[in-house]
Amino acid sequence: MSDDPVARFRGLPERIDSDPETVQRDLMRLVLTIIELVRQLMERQALRRLDEGSLTEDQIEALGTGLMHLADAMRELRERYGLSQEDLNLDLGPLGSLLGE
């Protein structure tokens, strides 16, 4: 195997070959990746609504609090399973990379 980043990178595995001992941890990475995707989409949508000026002060507070708690919860879950933010990134091919720009 070469040193080249392409050859070294495995990212999301093409197969998750689990056994009863490791299945929980293996699936958590997949599950957290999807939750992170949804969380980011929710956050973008909230910011879009903020821009539009269509939210009341109460709604802004409620949305912000909810998203903040969600971000904290995600961080905790990641730490518990030893996953970095990068580990949860997904490349969607023509749709581009999900996290970051």
Partner 1 sequence: MTSTSLTGSSGPPASGSPQIALVDLLDRLLGAGVVLSGDIVIALAGVDLVEVRLRALIRTVRDDDDDEVTA
Partner 2 sequence: MAERGRYLYAVCRDLDVESLGDLRGLGDRPIESVESHGLVGLVSSVDLDEYGEAGLRRNLEDIDWLESTARGHDAVVQAAAAVVATAPMRLVTIFNDDAGVRRRLAERFDRIHALLDRVEGHEEWSVKVLTRAPDPVAESTVAAGSGAEYLRRRKQDQESRESEMRDAHLVAERVHDALAAFAVASRRLAPQDPRLTGHTGTMVHNAAYLVPRDLSDRFSAAVGEVVAEYREVQLDARGPWPPYSFAMLEEE
The interface partner of residue 73, options being partner 1, partner 2, none and the CB cut-off 5 to 8 Å by kind, is: none
What is the CB neighbour count within 10 angstroms for residue 56?
A: 8
Is 36 within 8 Å of 88 (Cβ atoms)? Answer: yes
Identify which of residues 58 and 92 has a Cβ nearer to partner 1 in the complex: 92
Determine the Cα–Cα distance for residues 6 and 2; give it in Å rounded to an integer: 9
Tokens found for residue 80 = 């518990």
What minimum distance in Å lies between the beta carbon of 25 and partner 2? 22
Binding residues (CB under 8 A) for partner 2: these are 1-2, 4-7, 9, 11, 43-44, 46-47, 50-51, 57, 60-68, 71-72, 75, 85-86, 89, 91, 97, 99-101
